[in-house]
Structure 1
Amino acid sequence: MLNPKVLMTIKDLPLLAKTVIDGFMNGFNKSTVKGPGLEFSQYRSYQPGDDLRWLDWRMFARSDRYYIRESEVETSISVRFLVDASASMNHDDNGIKKIDYARFLGASLAYLANLQGDSVALNIFKDGDLFSLPSKPDPQHLQRLLYHLAHVDPAGTFTKPAHYKELFAGNGRKELLVFITDFYQADSEISNLLNTLAALGHEIIVFHLMGQNELDFDFKGFATLEDLETGETIQVNTQQAKEAYQQRLQQHLAAIKSNLLARRISYKMLSTARPLDEALREFLVQRKKGF
């Protein structure tokens, strides 16, 4: 059920998100840390400074030693989803557009975050405009987020909005930012935005979406390639250009990854032909990191 071709048959985005997460997590749906909670995990020896409320007196009666009951308690954070809705996200590979994959991924991760008790927020970048849905933890808010995701209509170019700093620095709370983009930029607009967000102290994970036809460059003969954001077209002999294209592409992807990792930004390139499980695993790793 994680295959994007299968997910295209599910028209209801909330149902799609539930289906993906139920299948992936198989009943495991909360992030946990050690601490005083309700579900028993293990004992450990008492240390000076420990809260005496968590002493287990039955263990003391049996062993004449002091033990602290540790347990599993849920932690919650704020997860903000940033979605690139520029026109290049309409790139189609075998019936799957990048924006479709972004919808599937964002909806599934938001559903998972909500299950863990996290607050979720949504920002959509579209041709210089920035749609904002604030961070809240309740299920009704999740439904609003999924509604707006379902109705994203890519257009224009990716332009950094003038007021974005107020949005991401206003509440002073550290967040996990999940940025879903194809990283198509004319003048480092996306890179500059990420640099600024990293400087504000947020944890960031970037999911870089690419069509498998972009990665394989499997076009035949002479082809007309169009820039979806500018409308410009070029004629290409695909057989002659393939080797040079793939070399430059690998250099390009390596440079993006290196630049982001240098700023402690997690990076994952995803083919829109691939199931969602790699992205979900990456999210869970980043979800626990640093919080």
Structure 2
Amino acid sequence: MAIKQLSLSAKMTIDGFMSGIHKSTVKGPGLEFSQYRSYQPGDDLRSLDWKMFARSDRYYIRESEVETNISIRLLVDASASMGHQDGAFRKIDYARYLAASLAYLGNLQGDAIGLYVFKDAGIFSMVAKQDFQHLARLFYQLEQITPDGTFTKPIHYKELYAGAQKRELLIFVTDLYELKQEIFDLLDTLNTLKHEVLVFHLMSGNEMSLDFKGYTTFEDLETGKTIQIDQESARAAYQENLKGHLDKIKNKMLDRRISYRLIQTDQPLDQALRDFLNQRNKLKT
């Protein structure tokens, strides 16, 4: 039942999001006919349509739609910090629905979709494929994710090098919580693959505002360490430090030429989906 709900939610999210958005295609030499246009000096003469010339005594270029399908790998952080909760909603829940919606949208556009889950003991991987049976299996695996332990160690990153050699879009959904630079080490590894990388950074509303309904004791979900905090007196300094931290993250992403988007888990998915479409359009050009 949970799998059906995830699938239905992804479909409803995408159908609602795509309502009113017109399909955009890239024109050029290809297999599927698109349109004719007048010949311009410098055009490839091999694209001239001589039958149209015979009928009209004018030169026309026959254009087709370029095949732009790509492979998309969804990378999901399943370390314990993704179990952080704001009200009844956890980061991993948001990540699950975001990944499902992106998978559904990619499949709808004819892209091959793969899934890589970063767990404490290693990486669970599903190679990228393009069919609805594969999509159903991907939804099933998303439902099985249970955040636990620390982030995956580099010894397991060999899984990332498997797969096709053509260009890919790697979408990493994470809260960017790290102990010793391990997530940015992963991003450096992803950059060596020469693919486009898009990072969705998840933070909850209570993290952003330091508003935990009167709690004074806080526990690190990955190390188990605890700390006592007076939220009222610490809030101003906390928010200032958080702003500096987020600015530093943005600069690190910029240095690595990685597309980055901070998302609060109490916000709708629309902006994340728009960012996905923008990044996919970059791969087409």
Fold equivalence (TM over 0.5): yes
Displacement of 1:168: 2.3
The answer as to 2:119 corresponding to 1:126 is yes
The runs of 4+ residues in structure 1 deviating greater than 4 Å are 27-31
CA-to-aligned-CA distance 1:103-125 (integer Å, 9 cap, x gap): 01000000111111111100000
Partner of 1:78: 71
What code does the residue aligned with 2:204 have? G
Alignment of 1:26-65 (within 5 A): 26=19, 28=21, 32-35=25-28, 36-38=30-32, 40-41=34-35, 43-45=37-39, 47-52=42-47, 55=49, 57-58=51-52, 61-62=55-56, 64-65=57-58
Partner of 1:253: 246
Pick closer, same or farther for the CA change 1:42–1:48 going to 2, 3 Å. closer
CA distance in 1 between partners of 2:122 and 2:24 (Å): 34
SS at match of 1:162: helix
Pick closer, same or farther for the CA change 1:170–1:40 going to 2, 3 Å. closer
CA distance in 2 between partners of 1:94 and 1:257 (Å): 28
CA-to-aligned-CA distance 1:157-201 (integer Å, 9 cap, x gap): 102241423532664332110000000000010001001111220
Partner of 1:202: 195
What code does the residue aligned with 2:143 have? A
Displacement of 1:68: 1.2
What code does the residue aligned with 1:61 have? R
- TM-align CA RMSD: 2.3
CA distance in 2 between partners of 1:29 and 1:178 (Å): 24
What code does the residue aligned with 1:40 have? S
Partner of 2:96: 103
The answer as to 2:85 corresponding to 1:92 is yes
Pick closer, same or farther for the CA change 1:221–1:105 going to 2, 3 Å. closer
What is the number of residues matched between the two proteins? 281
Displacement of 1:143: 1.0
Displacement of 1:32: 2.4
Check the 8 A contact 2:201/2:260 in 1, yes or no. yes
- The worse-fitting range, judged by mean Cα deviation, of 270-279 and 255-264 is 255-264
Higher relative contact order (CA 8 A, sep 6+): 1
SS at match of 1:218: coil
Match 2:223 to one of 214, 226, 230: 230
CA distance in 2 between partners of 1:128 and 1:199 (Å): 23
What code does the residue aligned with 1:49 have? D
Check the 8 A contact 1:20/1:108 in 2, yes or no. yes
Match 2:150 to one of 146, 157, 160: 157
What code does the residue aligned with 2:92 have? I
Displacement of 1:222: 5.5
- The worse-fitting range, judged by mean Cα deviation, of 69-78 and 236-245 is 69-78
SS at match of 2:262: strand
Check the 8 A contact 1:43/1:67 in 2, yes or no. yes
Check the 8 A contact 1:29/1:112 in 2, yes or no. no
Displacement of 1:259: 0.4
Tell me the TM-score normalized by structure 1.
Answer: 0.89
CA-to-aligned-CA distance 1:185-226 (integer Å, 9 cap, x gap): 000100010011112201100000000111111235562111
Percent identity between matched residues is: 55
Displacement of 1:41: 4.5
Match 2:185 to one of 192, 216, 222: 192
- The worse-fitting range, judged by mean Cα deviation, of 259-268 and 225-234 is 225-234
Unpaired segments ≥5 residues, structure 1: 1-8
- The worse-fitting range, judged by mean Cα deviation, of 65-74 and 170-179 is 65-74
Pick closer, same or farther for the CA change 1:203–1:241 going to 2, 3 Å. same
CA distance in 1 between partners of 2:158 and 2:198 (Å): 18
Tell me the TM-score normalized by structure 2.
Answer: 0.90
Unpaired segments ≥5 residues, structure 2: none
Check the 8 A contact 1:87/1:155 in 2, yes or no. yes
